[in-house]
Structures are given as C-alpha cells and as structure tokens.
Structure 1
C-alpha cells in the first residue's frame, strides 16, 4: 500500500513496492536458470543427450519466470499509483508448481543417471 493511501496528503512514492517485487522475481528466475544449468551439467552423459532436457526445460522456465516478474512489476506499479490493492496470485501459484516440477526433474536426473 502506498504512503499516500495511509496518510492523505503525503507525497506518493510508488517505486519501492514494485521495485522489491521486480527484484524478488529476478532472484527467483536466476535461481531457476542456475538450477537448470546444474541439471544440464548433472545430466551430461555421453551418447545420452536427452538426459540434459530437464535442465534445459528448467532454464526455459527461469526465463518465463523473469518475464512474468516483469509483468507483475507493471501490475503492482499501476496498482500502487492508483491506490488500489494489487491482487492476483496465479503467477505465484504457477511459480510454486514450477519449483515442485523442478525438484521432481532434479531427482529424476540424479537418480536415473547410469
């Protein structure tokens, strides 16, 4: 919630909450990309290139999470400027589901290696 919504007449500072949101989504996407790279490395087996596919999928998911974070940043920025609540937890739930799938893929790659 913006300061002006709490204190009428106070100057609007819409940059802090959306900025924190953008940084959190950026860190999350970086974690996905880094874990995907580790999965690619763990799945690197000669003559079995398909073992690296889960890692590539996780890295692609990291890129998608980054784009979703940018969209979420814009949504929160507009909501803060308008003084309305920024609702919508679909992106958060989708990211949680992606994290769970990442864990399952990591286990599959590490346990399925010859």
Structure 2
C-alpha cells in the first residue's frame, strides 16, 4: 500500500505522521511523491507506524518492463514455455543500501 493511501485511509495528516517519524513535512512529501526514497531506519519506522501495511517494497516503482502492473502480479512469459523453460536470465529488483533501486540478474553476484 502506498503511504499516501494509508494516511488517507486512516485519516492521519501528513504533518502529524512526519512528526511521528521524526522527519520534516517536506521530506515526507518527497517520500510520498517518489522524489526521495527513505533511508532504511525510516523505512522501518514507517513499517512499524503503519503496522506493516506500508512496507519498503511499496516505495519501489512498478516492476521493470511491466508498467502499471498491480501489486503481486506475475507476468507470464510464453517464450519460456516454448523453450521448455526460461533460457534467459531473470532481472531482479531490490533496494540498494542507499535506498535507491538496484538491478541484478539471477545468479549474478557482486
């Protein structure tokens, strides 16, 4: 769930939530608008304050190559069926240590 949706649902003003997190209103606004990703400690505070309804993954953009995909959806690859399995490396997406999106390929290490 997106943070803005959560705040609207539980009727908490962003300024009050920012104070609970220990960040400025402007910083919270940047988190909600995607202009800035929260640091790990702030992500944990957001998760705790929302009782797990907003998670670090909720700050990632839509999955690569599948804009507008709904949460938890999996795109089926018909090419892999024709090949008898997926012969291509699968892209993985995660948050880097700095909170920005990072990409790797399945089986790839540092």
Q: After TM superposition, is the score higher than 0.5?
A: no
Please give the TM-score of this superposition, normalised by the length of structure 1.
0.32
Higher relative contact order (CA 8 A, sep 6+): 1
Flag the structure with higher strand content.
2
Larger CA Rg, structure 1 vs 2: 1
